[in-house]
């Protein structure tokens, strides 16, 4: 174990499952009914006593409350939750293959999966369970990158580290309040895990048990919880909400992450819902490390204790609770006041015919075209020539490829025009709103 994290673990050898011992406070909302922290702990204890003997569990529970109970029971039993980036049978089988001593925990049996499975049982809630403590050094989860830039990579998360990170998230998202959170992102994604699983455990926030997707579903879920309400979502979902006429209950805040949030989209959401939109910056590797109010601030504010060290090909991130400095592909400019400006990703920087651009900027220009509802410009494999080639998939009802190209031609240098450009019915986004590269290439082949 590195010298960086040893002092942190020495100070905190074990941490309780919940940040406070108020067993009467609401930790979750199911079907409009409040679930107390005491009842939750009883469910965790009952499930932990029934889990199979193993080192790892692939938690596929879709209902968020069952996921949280499963996540905590697995940790209490001394096991580790595996969180695959997608729920496809192949992705799950790959994870089980890499971790042979594992089983799938889900609400129902998966016929397509060959490995061990354990179906979430009915839990007879009785009595009051003691508050469990988990060793700070115990690996409670292994998160996997989305595959948007290649094959998914595994990143273990220790209990002490995620508790430390969650304390900063609580300061930003809760700010002394006890918000009721509705999340559109899956709990298996690291952003979803931080905001909809760890935050209710390590603050006084409560989470809605559902996983709404469409605007009407989001409005219904928000109406099932009392104020103050916080919506945890993505730019993709936020853009869909603003295109829709569905009214939402009063929102205390909107939290966004997983992809860059356009300033005009943030401002439009703040005007429509009379709230503030906070954008979080992080990764599967680091968890959340910075935040900003995008509608009015361009620079990012780092969390206390986090330090960035620019490198030629990215940035090294240091934090007291990291096992080691963590490299990111993001290029940053350091600013006074523990802030930074994001300049792009190392893999997004393009140089074609002696001219430079970034994929992030090209995609902002694509989405700014009137009539474009969704779209992405991405790099194709260079091939034998070594020349960088760009392609685009665009959701633009009523527009043809030529009209979209005309819009791009007016906004960018012609050398960066994507060829081919295909208009499609929908992009192959995963549950977190991300676009895995393999899915993009397959969608382009079929278009």
Residue 3 pLDDT greater than 50, yes or no: no
Could you read off the pLDDT of 413-424 as tens digits, one per residue? 888 899 999 999
**pLDDT band, residue 353 (cuts 50/70/90):** low
Is the Cα torsion angle 115, 121, 126, 128 positive or negative in sign?
A: positive
DSSP letter for 237, please.
Answer: H
If asked whether residues 210 and 328 sit together in one domain, one would say yes
Give the whole-angstrom CA distance, residue 62 versus residue 208: 13
Higher pLDDT: 142 or 352? It is 142
Give the whole-angstrom CA distance, residue 120 versus residue 44: 12
Residue 5 pLDDT greater than 70, yes or no: no
In a domain, 1, yes or no: no
If asked whether residues 136 and 198 sit together in one domain, one would say yes
Q: Which residue do the tokens 């960088």 mark?
A: 388
Query: pTM score, two decimals?
Result: 0.86
Could you read off the pLDDT of 376-391 as tens digits, one per residue? 999 887 655 556 789 9
Give the whole-angstrom CA distance, residue 130 versus residue 48: 13
pLDDT of the residue at 296: 96
pLDDT of the residue at 151: 66
Report, as an integer, the average pLDDT of 6-20. Answer: 74
Residue 333 pLDDT greater than 80, yes or no: yes
**pLDDT band, residue 2 (cuts 50/70/90):** very low
Domain boundary among the residues 306, 322, 344 is at 344
If asked whether residues 380 and 281 sit together in one domain, one would say no
Of the candidates 21, 139, 15, the one whose C-alpha atom is nearest the C-alpha of residue 74 is 139
pLDDT of the residue at 11: 62
Could you read off the pLDDT of 120-170 as tens digits, one per residue? 999 887 767 889 999 999 999 999 886 555 567 899 999 999 999 999 999
If asked whether residues 363 and 320 sit together in one domain, one would say no
- How many domains, in total, are found in the chain? 2
The answer to which of 224-238, 245-259, 387-401 has the lowest mean pLDDT is 387-401
Give the whole-angstrom CA distance, residue 361 versus residue 375: 13
If asked whether residues 289 and 386 sit together in one domain, one would say no
440 CB-near residues (< 8 Å, 6+ apart)? 376, 378, 393, 428
**Residue 33 Cα to chain centre, angstroms:** 26
In a domain, 115, yes or no: yes
Q: Which domain holds residue 359?
A: 353-446
pLDDT of the residue at 358: 81
If asked whether residues 295 and 162 sit together in one domain, one would say yes
Could you tell me where the beta strands, DSSP code E, fall in 239-338? 253-256, 276-283, 287-292, 300-302, 307-311, 314-318, 326-328, 330-335
Residue 155: give its domain's CATH number. Answer: 3.40.50.12780
Could you read off the pLDDT of 308-331 as tens digits, one per residue? 999 988 999 999 999 899 999 899
If asked whether residues 340 and 364 sit together in one domain, one would say no
Report, as an integer, the average pLDDT of 21-33. Answer: 94
pLDDT of the residue at 7: 47
Percentage, residues of the chain above pLDDT 70 = 94
Quote the mean pLDDT of the chain: 90
111 CB-near residues (< 8 Å, 6+ apart)? none
364 CB-near residues (< 8 Å, 6+ apart)? 260, 262
Residue 362: give its domain's CATH number. Answer: 3.30.300.30
If asked whether residues 399 and 294 sit together in one domain, one would say no
If asked whether residues 82 and 229 sit together in one domain, one would say yes
Give the whole-angstrom CA distance, residue 207 versus residue 16: 19
Decide: 327 and 314 in contact? Cβ < 8 Å: yes
Query: What element of type H or E holds 267?
Result: helix 263-273
150 CB-near residues (< 8 Å, 6+ apart)? 437
């Amino acid at each position: 174990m590195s010298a960086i994290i040893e002092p942190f673990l020495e100070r905190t050898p074990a941490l309780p499952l919940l940040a406070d011992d108020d067993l009467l406070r609401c930790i979750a909302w199911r079907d409009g009914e409040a679930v107390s922290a005491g009842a939750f702990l009883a469910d965790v204890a009952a499930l932990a006593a029934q889990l199979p003997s193993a080192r790892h569990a692939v938690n596929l529970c879709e209902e968020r409350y069952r996921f949280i109970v499963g996540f905590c029971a697995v940790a209490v039993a001394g096991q580790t939750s595996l969180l695959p980036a997608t729920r496809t049978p192949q992705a799950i089988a790959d994870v089980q293959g890499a971790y042979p001593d594992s089983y799938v925990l889900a609400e129902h049996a998966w016929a397509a999966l060959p490995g061990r499975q354990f179906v979430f049982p009915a839990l007879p809630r009785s009595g009051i369970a003691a508050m469990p403590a988990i060793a700070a050094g115990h690996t409670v989860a292994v998160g996997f990158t989305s595959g948007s830039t290649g094959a998914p990579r595994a990143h273990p998360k220790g209990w002490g580290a995620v508790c430390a990170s969650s304390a900063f998230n609580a300061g930003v998202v809760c700010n002394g309040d006890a918000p009721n959170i509705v999340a559109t992102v899956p709990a298996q994604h690291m952003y979803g895990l931080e905001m909809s699983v760890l935050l209710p455990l390590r603050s006084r926030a409560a989470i809605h048990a559902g996983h709404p997707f469409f605007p009407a579903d989001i409005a219904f879920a928000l109406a099932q919880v009392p104020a103050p309400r916080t919506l945890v979502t993505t730019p993709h979902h936020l853009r869909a909400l603003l295109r829709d006429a569905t009214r939402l209950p009063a929102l205390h805040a909107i939290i966004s992450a997983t992809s860059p949030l356009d300033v005009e989209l943030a401002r439009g959401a703040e005007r429509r819902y009379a709230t503030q939109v906070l954008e979080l910056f992080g990764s599967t590797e680091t968890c959340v490390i910075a935040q900003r109010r995008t509608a009015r601030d361009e620079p990012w504010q780092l969390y206390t204790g986090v330090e960035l060290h620019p490198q030629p090909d990215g940035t090294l991130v240091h934090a007291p609770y990291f096992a080691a400095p963590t490299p990111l592909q993001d290029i940053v400019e350091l600013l006074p006041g523990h802030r930074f400006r994001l300049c792009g990703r190392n893999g997004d920087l393009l140089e074609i015919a002696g001219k430079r651009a970034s994929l992030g900027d090209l995609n902002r220009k694509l989405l700014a075209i009137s009539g474009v509802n969704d779209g992405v410009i991405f790099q194709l494999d260079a091939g034998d020539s070594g020349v960088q080639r760009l392609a685009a998939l665009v959701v633009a009802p009523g527009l043809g490829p030529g009209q979209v190209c005309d819009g791009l031609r007016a906004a960018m240098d012609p050398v960066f025009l994507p060829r081919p450009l295909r208009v499609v019915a929908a992009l192959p986004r995963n549950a977190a709103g991300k676009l895995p590269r393999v899915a993009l290439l397959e969608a382009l082949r079929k278009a």
